[in-house]
Amino acid sequence: MKFTAQKRETVGTSAAKLLRNENLVPGTVYASDLDPINIAMAVADVEQIRREIGLNSVFDLEVEGKTRTVIFVKLHNLL
C-alpha cells in the first residue's frame, strides 16, 4: 500500500494542535541516510493503515515526490 504525506515546516505543540484541527496527524520520518523529515498525514490514511495492514507492518510513504518504505515506531492518540 502506498500513502502520501506532506512535509511540514512548523513543529511543537501548538503546530500539532492546528494540524489535528485540520484532520492531519503530525509525524517524523527517520532514516539513516537523511535528516529527519517532519510530516503531516491525513487521519483517514492513518486509520486505514491501522485497520487494513496493522501498525507493525511496513508501507510505502511518498513525501515530496520520493517514496520510502516505512513503519510506525510510535503512534499517539490521533485527536
Phi, psi at 24, each rounded to 5°: -120, 150
Strand intervals (E) in 1-79: 2-7, 24-31, 34-42, 59-63, 66-70
pLDDT value of residue 32:
82
- The strands making up 66-70's β-sheet, listed across from edge to edge, are 24-31, 34-42, 2-7, 59-63, 66-70
Q: What is the pLDDT of residues 12-67, one digit of tens each?
A: 999 989 999 999 999 888 888 888 899 999 999 999 998 998 878 889 999 999 99
The pTM of this model reads 0.81
Give the per-residue pLDDT at 77: 63
**Per-residue model confidence as pLDDT tens digits over 8-18:** 998 999 998 99
